[in-house]
Amino acid sequence: MLRAVQRSPPAWSGTLARMNASVHEAASAALMLADPESKCTAARRLWEDFQAGRLVVVSGEYTAAPLPVPGRPERPLLVAPHELHTRRVGSREGHAALLHAIAHIEFNAINLALDCVCRFRNMPADFHRDWACVAAEEALHFGLVRDRLAALGGSYGDFPAHDGLWDMARKTAHDPLARMALVPRVLEARGLDATPVIMRKLAAIGDRASIGVLEVILRDEVGHVAIGDRWFRHLCAARGLDAEATYAGLLDAFDAPRPQPPLNEAARLAAGFSRSELDALSRRVPPEA
């Protein structure tokens, strides 16, 4: 039985209010907030204050130290991916479970963007500007999906979830090149493929409101993958590496998840993938798919 949504009052500490504060410290503070509403508020304020010049980039070396556990609510319960059960979207609970899974992805995406800002301090100011903007947009997405979940009488935390996105963040904490390749260009790009499929499922049950939310998310996520693509290619050029060969090598080295068909070729091309990359990715599709 789904319970009514409950939202805790914002617990924002006011870190961003200090003029000329470090954007990295502000991002770290937002990253560690556990309450989803507070984290979303902090991500939006981070972007607003950065744009207004109240936050500054403080150049320094990035650290390969292990990632901290980001702030997150006690629920959802995190389990291994194979422990998650598929529910039929045609049922009310299955409908809610689908929206919950999307909300969980968007919540983790806020943390991923914030970590880029606070971790990779040797990157140019435009890198931090890009990821601060992404964090704010992911906060918007989370709120939109959470509201659709609430319309079904549910809330974030009602269903188990997995930690795959943050697990890849841990694996790539040592190198921004690996992070850009394997989070935006692998995991978020898989979302470009999956979203049209999800939209068709929602259309089959007449959920036009959620389809409208996913249209916003898909539009923005093309831009987010494009940001990852741009910085991945920037880092490859700076290191004298062939971008496409490096990408293929990282997919193998990290045993990255394979793309699931059908590839959203139009969205991937718009986000920076080349035709030759799409052809190579198509050959990685699991044969049983």
Chain segment 8-54, per-residue pLDDT in tens:
333 334 444 456 799 999 999 999 999 999 999 999 999 999 999 99
- Give the chain's mean pLDDT: 90
Kindly tell me if the per-residue pLDDT of 84 is higher than 90: no
- Is residue 28 included in any domain, yes or no? no
Mean pLDDT of all residues in 243-248: 97
Q: Give the span between the Cα atoms of 22 and 60, in whole angstroms.
A: 11
Burial class (CB in 10 A: 0-12, 13-18, 19+), 78: middle
Domain, as residue range, for 116: 82-282
Number of folded domains in the chain? Answer: 1
Q: Is the peptide bond before 287 cis (omega within 30 degrees of 0)?
A: no
- Is residue 208 included in any domain, yes or no? yes
- Is residue 74 included in any domain, yes or no? no
Question: Which is more confidently placed, 10 or 289?
Answer: 289
H or E stretch covering 56 = strand 55-56
- Is residue 53 included in any domain, yes or no? no
- Is residue 39 included in any domain, yes or no? no
- Is residue 21 included in any domain, yes or no? no
Q: Give the span between the Cα atoms of 282 and 286, in whole angstroms.
A: 9
> What CATH code is carried by the domain that includes residue 87?
1.20.1260.10
Least confident of 13-22, 141-150, 266-275: 13-22
Nearest C-alpha neighbor of 122 from the set 250, 44, 234:
234
- Is residue 184 included in any domain, yes or no? yes
